[in-house]
Amino acid sequence: MGLEFDAVLFLSFGGPDKPDDVRPFLENVTRGRGVPPERLDEVAQHYLHFGGVSPINALNSAMISSIRDELAARGIDLPVFFGNRNWHPMIADTLAQIYDAGHRRVLVFPTSAWGGYSGCGQYHEDIAGALASLEPEAASQMVLRKLPQYWHESLFVDAAGDAVRRAAASLSGESQPRLVFTAHSIPDAADRDSGPPAQGRLYSRQVRAASERAAAAAGFAEFDQVWQSRSGPPQVPWLEPDIVDHLEDLAAQGVRSVIVSPIGFVSDHLEVVWDLDNEAREKAAELGLEYVRADSVGTDPRFIEMAVDLIEQYRDGVVPQDVPLGVGDNGVYCAGGKCCRASVRRPRPAD
Ligand SMILES: CC1=C(CCC(=O)O)c2cc3nc(cc4[nH]c(cc5[nH]c(cc1n2)c(C)c5CCC(=O)O)c(CCC(=O)O)c4C)C(CCC(=O)O)=C3C
Ligand SMILES: [Fe+2]
């Protein structure tokens, strides 16, 4: 077998910890991405509204501590390290620590369930970039294996479905609620190019499929799929409809009550608490809609169980013959290097 993994890297997006972090964080996120400065000013205000502190870091720390507990409960002796793409602890610094601690075989758990450039390809790039920051002699000793996309895992969709059920139970019951699932919008071209060549639209297909299963788990025969947090210049098409526009449509159709599930996100980070708990909630109030937001899956013990199942399954270095999407070593993109590359190319250290 040979390839026993000896450490775990929990890899996430990152977010600011204080007001002075907000601008440099946003610059890291959008470097080379063609996001207009007005959009950055607007998003900076969302962070400053919460004192310049994103909830994402505390949420990730809580998930990591639960993952450590679950590993210990299963008698699995693997240290869990924390690194991010866009803010401290930065993945390159964490990888240097991992190396110095003597680990050479690292399983990487990403906080995105999905394919697509932002949800998968870019995490591969983060790994490649961090390796390129080590001395070549050190880098050549490392194997960083990214774990698979997990949007279809039963523990994931059941956790999402259960959150919908809890949200539904909190409604007045005066009218039949409409169930709406939301995920991060991406440029339409990025969705078209996501997944193995000739398949395409992997991201939106995965999101819909997961929503369908979560809806069924919650006992709903129907749901609407919408998108949120669009950025980029207005003339560039992104996935639609937007959650806020959709609420207007629903009100116009005579709907009185809405359940919104942020299935696209693992935890209640800033895009959830701002776009859904502020913007969408306000719009709903203005329209006279009863509105409830379902929890994200990160607080559900089943999500932790799923993460640790994956770690346990991949720990001995054996990969299923049909390599699942999302799995790749040292930043090689999925599907033999063909999957989920950026539709707006930016230089990566490995090129
Ligand atoms: C698919 C997807 C996920 C889900 C998968 C995953 O979780 O990885 C995700 C997660 C997140 N997105 C986040 C924040 C931001 N995303 C931005 C920008 C963008 N996201 C995109 C896509 C996604 N994003 C895209 C196509 C852009 C345009 C720029 C580009 O093409 O790259 C911007 C820049 C400003 C703006 O344009 O809004 C910010 C601040 C946070 C952290 C929130 C916190 O701090 O709590 C998280 C978890
Ligand atoms: Fe984002």
Give the integer Cα–Cα distance in Å for 49 and 117.
Answer: 29
Q: Within this chain, do residues 273 and 314 fall inside the same structural domain, yes or no? A: no
Closest ligand to 186 CA?
1
The domain total for the chain is: 2
Name the residue with the closest Cα to ligand 1, atom 36. 231
**311: in domain:** yes
CATH code, 227: 3.40.50.1400
Closest ligand to 46 CA?
1
Give the integer Cα–Cα distance in Å for 113 and 153.
Answer: 9
Q: What is the 192 CA–ligand 2 centroid distance (Å)? A: 18
Q: Within this chain, do residues 127 and 210 fall inside the same structural domain, yes or no? A: no
Q: Within this chain, do residues 57 and 174 fall inside the same structural domain, yes or no? A: no
Q: Within this chain, do residues 166 and 143 fall inside the same structural domain, yes or no? A: no
Whole-number pLDDT of residue 342: 76
**82: in domain:** yes
Name the residue with the closest Cα to ligand 1, atom 9. 184
**348: in domain:** no
Taking only the tens of pLDDT, the chain with its 351 residues reads: 457 999 999 999 999 999 999 999 999 999 988 888 888 999 999 999 999 999 999 999 999 999 999 999 999 999 999 999 999 999 999 999 999 999 999 999 999 999 999 999 999 999 999 999 999 999 999 999 999 999 999 999 999 999 999 999 999 888 999 999 999 999 999 999 999 888 889 999 999 999 999 999 999 999 999 999 998 888 999 999 999 999 999 999 999 999 999 999 999 999 999 999 999 999 999 999 999 999 999 989 999 999 999 999 999 999 999 999 999 999 999 888 878 887 655 444 443
Whole-number pLDDT of residue 252: 98
Whole-number pLDDT of residue 2: 53
Pocket test for ligand 1, best of 271, 277, 278, 279 (most atoms within 8 A of CB): 271
Pocket test for ligand 1, best of 151, 229, 278 (most atoms within 8 A of CB): 229
Backbone angles phi, psi at 199, to 5 degrees: -95, -60
**343: in domain:** no
Its ipTM equals: 0.93
Q: Within this chain, do residues 27 and 132 fall inside the same structural domain, yes or no? A: yes
Q: Within this chain, do residues 141 and 30 fall inside the same structural domain, yes or no? A: yes
Q: What is the 184 CA–ligand 2 centroid distance (Å)? A: 7
Give the integer Cα–Cα distance in Å for 167 and 202.
Answer: 28
* CA terminus-to-terminus distance, the chain: 30
Q: For 323, which DSSP code? A: P
Atom of ligand 1 nearest to the CA of 122: 8
Atom of ligand 1 nearest to the CA of 119: 5
Q: Within this chain, do residues 122 and 173 fall inside the same structural domain, yes or no? A: no
Q: Within this chain, do residues 145 and 216 fall inside the same structural domain, yes or no? A: no
Predicted TM-score (pTM) of the model is 0.95
Q: Within this chain, do residues 170 and 251 fall inside the same structural domain, yes or no? A: yes
Residue range(s) defining the domain that contains residue 288? 154-296
Q: Within this chain, do residues 86 and 31 fall inside the same structural domain, yes or no? A: yes
Q: Within this chain, do residues 185 and 117 fall inside the same structural domain, yes or no? A: no
Establish whether 194 is an annotated binding residue.
no
**307: in domain:** yes
Establish whether 246 is an annotated binding residue.
no
Q: Within this chain, do residues 207 and 327 fall inside the same structural domain, yes or no? A: no
Whole-number pLDDT of residue 32: 85
Establish whether 70 is an annotated binding residue.
no
Establish whether 54 is an annotated binding residue.
yes
**347: in domain:** no
Q: Which residues line ligand 1 (CB under 6 A)?
A: 13, 15, 26, 29-30, 33, 35, 39, 43, 54-56, 111-112, 114, 118-119, 184, 186, 229, 231, 264, 269-271
In a 10 Å sphere around its CB, with 0-12 CB exposed, 13-18 middle and 19+ buried, how is residue 234 labelled?
A: exposed
**345: in domain:** no
**83: in domain:** yes
